[in-house]
Amino acid sequence: MSNLIGKSGNPMEVTKAGRGLVDAKSEFLQASMRGDAFSWCGETKAATAADTVWMIRNDHPTKNLHFYEMTIKQDSSTVEAELHRVTAAYTSAGTAVVGVNLNGASGKVAQASAISDETGNTQGTVVRRFFLSTSEYTLDMESAVIAAPGQAIGLDLTVGGSQCYWSVIGYFKNPDEL
């Protein structure tokens, strides 16, 4: 019978019930520990009908950008929202939003163009369509909405409102690391 030895030479431990001990870190947590997880927050501002209230383009040359979660609050009673992926090149236009690294011990900067009230894009493929009320809405994308280098994810609202603000959390990851 052989010991299961890790890359660093440490042996794996096994309980009396035969269960191997594992350290279960989520992809999101691992990304943040590497300094690759960011948050982008839009300030309160008015939204016009058919506006792209936020769009974030992955400017990293090799890594994918995984979208983890979005929250949005706006003040119109019934609004159709469309989350879409833009693959065509476009010139960003609107209010730039600086990504905040979730790991304060990291000095990495997000290689992304995040824009509030983005007017430079043409709507791409709709990934998800949903309705918003005046309550805050959280869309859990569970890291499965992915923008490859050069691609962008954005949110369009069909109805405007006087106040709208949003937060998006995502992380970068090398696509060949499963």
Partner 1 sequence: MNFKGKSGNPVEVDSDCRILVDAKSEWLLASLKGDAYIWTNETAALAGDDTAMSVRNDHSSKNLHIWKVKLHGIAESQVEIYATTAVYTPTGTAVVGVNLNRTTNKVAEATAIYDDTAVAQGGIVERIRIKADTDYEVDFGGAFILGHDQAIGIDLETANSECHVSVWGYFK
C-alpha 37: how far from chain center: 9
Q: Which of 45, 59, 92, 103 binds partner 1 (CB under 8 A)?
A: 103
How far, in Å, CA of 50 to CA of 121, rounded? Answer: 12
11 part of the interface to partner 1, by CB under 8 A: yes
44 part of the interface to partner 1, by CB under 8 A: yes
Residues 6+ apart with CB under 8 A from 159: 49, 76, 78, 79, 80
Q: Which of 92, 119, 158, 167 binds partner 1 (CB under 8 A)?
A: 167
Q: Bridge partners of 85?
A: 125, 153
Q: Which of 51, 60, 169, 172 binds partner 1 (CB under 8 A)?
A: 169
* Residue span 55-94 as binding mask against partner 1, x where in contact by CB under 8 A, dash where not: ----------------x-x---------------------
How far, in Å, CA of 140 to CA of 67, rounded? Answer: 9
What is the closest distance, in whole angstroms, from the C-beta atom of residue 124 to partner 1 in the complex? 25
How far, in Å, CA of 50 to CA of 45, rounded? Answer: 15
How far, in Å, CA of 116 to CA of 52, rounded? Answer: 8
What is the closest distance, in whole angstroms, from the C-beta atom of residue 57 to partner 1 in the complex? 20
Q: Which stretch binds partner 1 (CB under 8 A): 9-17, 87-95, 113-121, 142-150?
A: 9-17
Q: Which of 7, 16, 91, 177 binds partner 1 (CB under 8 A)?
A: 16
Q: In this structure, how many other beta carbons lie within 10 angstroms of the beta carbon of residue 103?
A: 15
1 part of the interface to partner 1, by CB under 8 A: yes
Residues 6+ apart with CB under 8 A from 160: 46, 47, 48, 49, 51, 76
What is the closest distance, in whole angstroms, from the C-beta atom of residue 33 to partner 1 in the complex? 7
Q: Which of 8, 23, 176, 177 binds partner 1 (CB under 8 A)?
A: 23
Of 150, 36, 45, nearest to 100 by C-alpha is 36
Binding site for partner 1 (CB under 8 A): 1-4, 11-26, 28-29, 31-33, 37, 39, 41-44, 71, 73, 98, 100-106, 135-136, 165-167, 169
